[in-house]
Amino acid sequence: QLELNLEDDRRNKTNNNIVAIKEIYNIINKEYIKSEIDIMRKLTHPNIVKLYDYVWKPTKIYLIMQVYS
């Protein structure tokens, strides 16, 4: 599991890599979002951005993802 402070500079404390954090709000169908997150976490492919982890808050979901430049 990643050690990350969402208020920080978006650096993964485990290996000091920069991560992308996507915020999702206005969640209508929680079961659908949960299903999509589960699928994204299982995907491993060089052309697909990796989803490392997520943080589920009452009004938002934060997706912690790999950064490509």
2-49, pLDDT tens digit by residue?
A: 444 454 445 555 556 678 888 888 888 889 999 999 999 999 998 888
pLDDT band at residue 51 using 50, 70 and 90 as cut-offs: very high
Q: What pLDDT score does 24 carry?
A: 87
> What is the helix (H) or strand (E) element at residue 38, kind and residue range?
helix 30-42
